[in-house]
Amino acid sequence: MSYKCSRCKRDVQLDEYGGVRCPYCGHRVLLKERSRDVKEVDAQ
């Protein structure tokens, strides 16, 4: 899962030990990035 820190805007990789926290600035608000796959939607 890739996230982006909302304070320092750097990409963050989360692991199971570190908890939800930016390793660079310690900020606890992370934003999830949109996945790069193509998304198919029905126009209904």
22 is in an annotated binding site: yes
Q: Per residue in 19-44, is it b (16+ CB within 10 Å) or e — as a string?
A: eeebeeeeeeebeeeeeeeeeeeeee
Contacts with another protein, residue ranges (CB under 8 A): 34, 38-44
CB 44 → another protein: shortest distance, Å?
7
8 is in an annotated binding site: yes
CB 32 → another protein: shortest distance, Å?
14
Neighbours of 12 (CB within 10 A): 21
> Would you list which residues are annotated within the binding site for Zn(2+)?
8, 22, 25
